Amino acid sequence: MKPAPALAEGFPDLSGMRIAREPHWLRWLSAALIILVLAAIARAFANGQIEWSYVSRFIAAKVILEGIVNTMVMAVLAMALGIFLGIVVAIMRLSPNPVLKTVAAGYTWLFRGTPLILQLLLWFNLALVFPTIGIPVLWSARAVDVMTPFLAALLGLGINQGAYTSEVMRAGMLSVDIGQYEAAQAIGMGRLRALRRIILPQAMRVVIPPLGNEFIGMVKATSLASVIQYPEVLHNAENIYYANSRVIELLIVAGLWYLLVVSILTPLQMLLERRFARGTLRFAQ
Amino acid sequence: MTKPLVAIRSVSKSFGEFQALKSVSLDVWPGEVMCLIGASGSGKTTLLRCINQLAIIDGGGIWLDGELLGLREQGGRLHRLSEREIGRQRLKTGMVFQRFNLFPHKTALENIIEGPLQVQGRKFDEVRGEALELLRRVGLSAKANSYPAQLSGGQQQRVAIARALAMKPMLMLFDEPTSALDPELVGEVLAVMKELAKSGMTMMVVTHELGFAREVADRVVYMDQGAIVEQGRASDVLGAPREERTKAFLSAVI
């Protein structure tokens, strides 16, 4: 064997030298510019026709607090309905049965194809189509009494959400490897049990980020229910400014509440994601 | 006189234009270890999947333990079985996949007890004891609470074997169980399979491990283009093949 040759000359030892930090002048400059612009905007608002005292007076007013509670109740219930419908419709869409497939596709087509506000108005005005509703002989009632703003908002928002959520759930189920279906079948599971025990838990990991997105959208979409008299936060804020004409102040109040709620939701989503990440992080249990 | 555990008669299966199985007939006897060899696309995996009804045959019939699979005869016509009945028939076979297909959101122990608990509706304490015994048998007692992602490929495949055994099948089907493994991990899986063969389990193994076939198989079946070309004792088929196609395949593999 040949002895290892001596190292060639002309390549100095760099191990003792430090790497200099770049000054990044452009970053400093752009940051300063942005701060300047923000300060100018803040100054404009401070000097504008806004009575900030009204904002602080109404931010925790009883009517506003009731409104934000109603907003949250509606968002949670409508989202729950939407997720339930979404899972059912996604399973139907992926079923081998052509009748179920077509019904599911039709549902998605109809409720994604029309504006949400139109659907809310249709539900709320159902009494114009069916003055009385009920089950023949057993029970009936006047539609105006049944179709309250609450129920109309819940059905409108939830059923519309279901159409979108079904596509999110379908994407999640398609993301699970076909081998998982086969392994579930091989230990004697039927289609529905395999979906419930094996496929959906794995799909959840994939669908939580888009579902978080959808839920944040839902929190804000509840404001549309103000047009059918559901007393959520925007509706209540409007009622106040109809009386005192402080329009911008009360819109700011409502806006701050939406921001607060959405800010709280983001860390909650991370907790959920961790729960469904079981088995995917090599060293975490 | 004993009857074959599996009787395959004139089974054909196509995927679109491609004919994967062309009128295949074969018997598998209780306690027999059969290795199926052949090039990819020769139909050996499809044959295995038809026995487990992961693939539905187009023609012919397969009887497992005397029972016709997937079909029943009534009034001179054949009717397809319901999903529930197919599920019941599947319980007689255990399947081990090339890509393991463990449930990644469940620990090794949870993977093994899922079937007995959920499908067979058995009691947790009883099932857990059996599962721990199975883990010991495949040499993974220490890994009961590990998730699949924390196990090596060889360990995952041994858990998958334990999962299949937990259903107490009469027949074990292995679909290229070592093909997805790093070479140094193949041995540990083959060792578990050898031990299983010794215990008297009836096994059908699709494999490229000719060494394993030579050592363990009672019978080797060579398939090509959807048909059985040659079969017999391992020493005969692998050592002194009669058919030209078998000779060509073996010389290409070795």
Rounded Cα gap, residues A186 and A177, in angstroms: 15
pLDDT at B1: 63
Mean pLDDT (whole number) for A175-181:
95
Taking a C-beta distance cutoff of 8 angstroms, is the pair A161, A79 a contact?
yes
Residues 68-107 of B with CB under 8 A from A: 83-84, 87-88, 90-91, 93-95, 97, 99, 101-107
pTM, to two decimals: 0.84
Please write the tens of the pLDDT for every residue from B69-82: 999 988 889 999 99
DSSP assigned state of A3: P
B153 touching chain A per CB within 8 A: no
Kindly report which listed range (A99-103, A201-205, B10-14, B45-49) carries the lowest average pLDDT score.
Answer: A201-205
User: Which residue from B minimizes the CA distance to A178?
Assistant: B101
Contacts of B190 (CB under 8 A, 6+ apart): B178, B209, B212
Q: What's the average model confidence in pLDDT over B139-156?
A: 95
User: Per residue in B2-40, pLDDT tens?
Assistant: 899 999 999 999 999 999 999 999 999 999 999 999 998
pLDDT at A131: 83
Q: Do A188 and B91 touch (CB under 8 A)?
A: yes
Q: What is the pLDDT of residue B226?
A: 95
Calculate what percentage of chain B has a pLDDT beyond 70: 100
Cβ separation A279–B83 shorter than 8 A: no
Reply yes or no on whether the pLDDT at A3 is more than 80: no
The answer to whether the CB atoms of A179 and B99 lie below 8 A apart is yes
A178 at B interface, C-beta within 8 A = no
Instruction: Say whether pLDDT at A282 is over 50.
Output: no
Mean pLDDT of B124-148: 95
Q: What is the largest CA-CA distance in chain B?
A: 56
Which chain A positions have a beta carbon within 8 Å of B114's beta carbon? Answer: 187, 197
- Res A285 pLDDT > 50: no
On average, the pLDDT of chain A sits at 91
- At B227 the pLDDT is 96
Residue type, B204: M
| pLDDT (average), residues A232-247 | 94
Q: What angle do CA B178, B183, B184 make, to 5 degrees?
A: 110
Are A189 and B99 inside 8 Å of each other by CB? Answer: no
Looking at the complex, does the CB of residue B252 fall below 8 Å from at least one CB of chain A?
Answer: no
Quick one: CA torsion of A249, A251, A255, A258, rounded to 10 degrees?
130
Q: Which residue in A178, A187, A195 has the most chain B C-beta atoms within 10 A of its own C-beta, making it the best mutation to test that interface?
A: A187
Q: Mind giving me the DSSP string for A127-152?
A: HHH-SEEEETTTEEEEHHHHS-HHHH
| Torsion over CA: A12, A14, A18, A19 (sign) | positive
d(CA B181, CA B96): 14
**pLDDT over threshold 90, residue B163:** yes
CB B37 within 8 A of CB B234: no
Query: Quick one: pLDDT band at residue B120, thresholds 50, 70, 90?
Result: very high
pLDDT at A233: 95
The percentage of residues in chain A with a pLDDT greater than 90, rounded to a whole number, is 71
CA distance B246 to chain A (A): 31
Is B178:B186 a contact under the CB 8 Å cutoff? yes
Chain A residue numbers touching B97 (CB-CB < 8 A) = 179, 182-183, 186
- CA A116 to CA A138: how far, in whole Å? 33
What are the chain B neighbours of A185 within 8 Å (beta carbons)? Answer: 54, 87, 90
Q: Quick one: average pLDDT of B187-196?
A: 95
Cα B17 off chain centre by:
26
Q: Is A15 on the interface with B (CB under 8 A)?
A: no
**Model confidence at A284: pLDDT above 60:** no
Give B201-242 pLDDT, tens digit per residue: 999 999 999 999 999 999 999 999 999 999 999 999 999 999
* A160 Cα distance to chain centroid: 13
Question: What is the overall mean pLDDT for chain B?
Answer: 94
ipTM entry: 0.91
Min Cα separation A195/chain B (Å): 12
- Per CB-CB distance under 8 Å, the chain A contacts of B87 are 185, 188-190
**Which range (B1-5, B116-120, B138-142) has the least confidence?**
B1-5
Q: By three-state DSSP, how is residue A267 classified?
A: helix
- Choose between B44 and A134: higher pLDDT: B44
Average pLDDT estimate for B129-154:
95
- Residue of chain A whose Cα is closest to the Cα of B149: A282
Distances (CA, A) of A3 to A6, A7, A10: 9, 12, 21
User: For the residues B163-191, what does the mean pLDDT come to?
Assistant: 94
> What's A19's DSSP letter?
P
Q: Which sign does the torsion angle of CA A181, A184, A188, A193 carry?
A: negative
Q: Give pLDDT, residue A48.
A: 84
Residues 6+ apart with CB under 8 A from B205: B33, B34, B35, B36, B174, B177, B193, B212, B213, B217
Among all residues of chain A, which has the CA nearest to that of B96? A183
- DSSP structure string for A142-188: EHHHHS-HHHHHHHHHHHHHHHHHHHHHHHHHHTS-HHHHHHHHHTT
Average the pLDDT over A178-204 and give the result. 94
